[in-house]
A and B are shown apart, each in its own frame.
Chain A
């Protein structure tokens, strides 16, 4: 592999950012070679320039202010940065193809899948219509889509996320490109689907001998798929090398810190709560969504989001609810916090059922249970200062404003923010800092139960680690009972004492984290655990994974 000349050579690439950006270059002095028959993973956190770098190969730039200002991108000796538009068009799709993160937006919603695959062939003037159709069918078969004829006739919204990503891959591979650029192709997918797509990309890459640039932020995925690894930070390349070497003996300090931040799959020390009283008890909660129906005689759609969910939470315990999208895990959180109403069942706090309390009766009880949300950008009102946001809850519940403000500053310091942050607005903070503000706001009401709905999913791995540590620390300090919703089994293993695995609105497995991870009893739990990317690598890393 290394004896050949490289398929794609990126030499001292510089991509400039507009003058008002926070740094002069999106990509600065990056040189990478991609060889035939290998997967090169480009890893970095958000803003590292990894996407800009990989898109530059296709001549795709986010705006006219982002331009390459130096270096060369050589494909078989031809500099793509100097190629004419006509030449680039001939190369795109034909020699270099790309798959994107979000297949729903990367596919055109008004055209059938078949038409979109055939269009790629048509643009590059390949074959007759009949041949193109046959080729499209063959491609869909190659990406293991069942019943290609049906998929060809389907519109993007009629397919699942995994099917759409497979269709995107089929489209990218239709002309058998030499180079495939995959920009976070599995980030928007569920973990089991992700495992399938990763296996598919690996398989096709081997069969066709392609060179793949795989952009990702997830070291688990890297461990799963990479032959070689390039690590980027602030637009610069900090390390590149053979996958096994980088993963086991990282040279750069930044790579080491990134690897250390990946949560391990080995649960922490067991804590015992058997003697503590049950604070939150959920019994047989159901919720059904009905959409459509009625007016024009169309049939109503019924989705059973929750089918008799039940669990108990003891004081001080942290229960993780894990599951894939659509499993109902967020619905559970929203039913418990009464942001939506459950159809039946009981939600008891200290034995008092709150599931059917009216708005007024509920209001004083709300402060005992507070929520931390997923989206650090959407969960803070952009027009209020951080101090106002944190102090507002207590003020609403009758605390004098001056005292609430003083307390807000204390809380901001508790979550690791400067006291001066109180007078600033949310947009002045980074994602991780905003999540800290969200936590301070929840804590301001001195709740007993904290419901955290995917609180770290939108964060970079190093920031994620800090926020998880903060949550764990505050939980023990304040004796909080936590309900932690996540799709990430690694994250769950780090913070949770017990875990409930949800699948299609039901809890299929429920028990102490260490027991569930070591001896999963339900098939679905086993599938979920097997699909965690980089599992083998993680287990090799941690010596404590004896069981």
Chain B
């Protein structure tokens, strides 16, 4: 584990990504300290460009864009991490059971997974939000529902490969139960693949959330980056910064997460890049 940490620290792009990500987390943490009160509050004249009275300008209703971006970071991170966590738990459980038991259980669980994969994931997310409504919990649920199948497939493959390894057979011949073999012996060996895929899944979750709120399907009571872009798109030519500021925030966050994910991949799977 120490080796993995050192490999990660030596990976320059991953460090850059980590620094960016930490900045986003800090932004989310200090949002209510820097901007007490409601981010939807009107604070000044509308359509003020950045670096005038307000550092990032105001939108068409005169709301402070800087406050919106700071509060948006909260929503984005919350949705990204929560949706990924749920999707990972579901994906690992289904993929793990399918890969470990094989046969009929595998066939059944994989057909279920494929059923989810046949529907384009973004359309599926729109459909779910449209049906369920758009509170933040329901958005997290919708994103989790469309994101778990790739994780399930990956974990299934890993488990199938591990199932026939001699150390697992040794466990069987010692008389261990299935639960112990899965949790204590196989899962830790697949953890690096899960962590890497999970980290990249956060970026996808953030993009889905942004897309949903851009389409006006997000929680109207919660400030998010996609929501700002969605509301500013009609004035893109006259007030470009309303879209640009949260757009750049999304870009940097997603890039940061991808860089960290790549760094984790290199750190945890060193065999891929030996010599």
A87 interface residue per 8 A CB criterion: no
Q: Which of B168-187 contact A (CB under 8 A)?
A: 169-177, 180, 184-185
B182 smallest CB distance to A (angstroms):
13
Q: Which of B117-174 contact A (CB under 8 A)?
A: 165-167, 169-174
Q: Which of A327-370 contact B (CB under 8 A)?
A: 337-339, 362-364, 366-367, 369-370
B33 interface residue per 8 A CB criterion: no
The answer for the CA separation of A441 and B172 in the assembled complex, in Å, is: 13
A382 interface residue per 8 A CB criterion: yes
Q: Is the CB of B166 within 8 A of A375?
A: yes
The answer for the CA separation of A238 and B14 in the assembled complex, in Å, is: 49
Q: Which stretch in A306-314, A390-398, A537-545 binds the other chain?
A: A390-398
Chain A: interface residue count, which band? 20 to 34
B275 interface residue per 8 A CB criterion: yes
- Give the residue name and chain of the A residue nearest to B188 (CB): A383
A430 interface residue per 8 A CB criterion: no
A373 interface residue per 8 A CB criterion: yes
A65 interface residue per 8 A CB criterion: yes
A379 interface residue per 8 A CB criterion: yes
A52 smallest CB distance to B (angstroms):
15
Q: Is the CB of A374 within 8 A of B166?
A: yes
A151 interface residue per 8 A CB criterion: no
A331 smallest CB distance to B (angstroms):
13
The answer for the CA separation of A405 and B9 in the assembled complex, in Å, is: 36
Best-buried of B166, B171, B184, B185 by chain A (most CB within 10 Å): B166
A433 smallest CB distance to B (angstroms):
16
Chain B residues closer than 8 Å to A338, beta-carbon distance: 173
Using A65-B275, A383-B188, A383-B189 as known contacts, say yes or no to A445 and B174 having CB atoms under 8 A apart.
yes
Chain A residues closer than 8 Å to B176, beta-carbon distance: 392-393, 396
The answer for the CA separation of A380 and B170 in the assembled complex, in Å, is: 8
The answer for the CA separation of A318 and B238 in the assembled complex, in Å, is: 89
Chain A residues closer than 8 Å to B170, beta-carbon distance: 371, 373, 379-380, 438, 441
| Interface residue from A64, A379, A380 paired with B275 (Cβ < 8 Å) | A64
A-B contact count (CB 8 A): 64
Chain A residues closer than 8 Å to B167, beta-carbon distance: 378-381
The answer for the CA separation of A375 and B170 in the assembled complex, in Å, is: 12
Q: Is the CB of A339 within 8 A of B172?
A: yes
A424 smallest CB distance to B (angstroms):
14
Q: Is the CB of A373 within 8 A of B275?
A: no
Chain B residues closer than 8 Å to A373, beta-carbon distance: 166, 169-170
| Interface residue from B166, B177, B180, B188 paired with A379 (Cβ < 8 Å) | B166
| Interface residue from B172, B173, B177, B189 paired with A382 (Cβ < 8 Å) | B189
The answer for the CA separation of A379 and B185 in the assembled complex, in Å, is: 12
- Give the residue name and chain of the A residue nearest to B170 (CB): A379
A63 interface residue per 8 A CB criterion: yes
| Interface residue from B165, B173, B180, B184 paired with A337 (Cβ < 8 Å) | B173
Chain A residues closer than 8 Å to B175, beta-carbon distance: 362-364, 366-367, 393, 396-397, 445
Using A65-B275, A378-B165 as known contacts, say yes or no to A370 and B174 having CB atoms under 8 A apart.
yes
Chain B residues closer than 8 Å to A393, beta-carbon distance: 174-176
The answer for the CA separation of A152 and B83 in the assembled complex, in Å, is: 57
Using A64-B275, A382-B189, A383-B189 as known contacts, say yes or no to A396 and B166 having CB atoms under 8 A apart.
no
Q: Is the CB of B169 within 8 A of A339?
A: yes
Q: Is the CB of B165 within 8 A of A371?
A: no
Chain B residues closer than 8 Å to A63, beta-carbon distance: 275
| Interface residue from A65, A375, A383, A392 paired with B174 (Cβ < 8 Å) | A392
Give B181-202 as 1s and 0s: 1 = Cβ < 8 Å from A's Cβ atoms.
Answer: 0001100110000000000000
Chain B residues closer than 8 Å to A364, beta-carbon distance: 175
Q: Is the CB of A396 within 8 A of B174?
A: yes
Chain B residues closer than 8 Å to A366, beta-carbon distance: 173-175
The answer for the CA separation of A382 and B162 in the assembled complex, in Å, is: 12
The answer for the CA separation of A367 and B172 in the assembled complex, in Å, is: 10
Best-buried of A373, A382, A445 by chain B (most CB within 10 Å): A373
Chain B residues closer than 8 Å to A396, beta-carbon distance: 174-177, 180
The answer for the CA separation of A434 and B176 in the assembled complex, in Å, is: 21
- Give the residue name and chain of the A residue nearest to B176 (CB): A396
Chain A residues closer than 8 Å to B275, beta-carbon distance: 63-65
A12 smallest CB distance to B (angstroms):
27
| Interface residue from B173, B177, B185 paired with A381 (Cβ < 8 Å) | B185
B228 smallest CB distance to A (angstroms):
45
Chain B residues closer than 8 Å to A441, beta-carbon distance: 170, 174
The 4 closest A-B pairs by CB, nearest first: A366-B175, A379-B166, A393-B174, A373-B166
25 contacts between A and B (CB under 8 A): A339-B169, A339-B172, A362-B175, A363-B177, A366-B174, A366-B175, A367-B174, A367-B175, A373-B166, A375-B166, A378-B165, A378-B166, A378-B167, A379-B165, A379-B167, A380-B170, A381-B167, A381-B188, A382-B189, A383-B188, A383-B189, A393-B174, A393-B175, A396-B177, A445-B174
A-B contacts besides A378-B166, A381-B189, A383-B188, 12 pairs, CB < 8 Å:
A64-B275, A338-B173, A339-B169, A362-B175, A364-B175, A367-B174, A379-B169, A381-B185, A381-B188, A382-B189, A383-B189, A396-B176
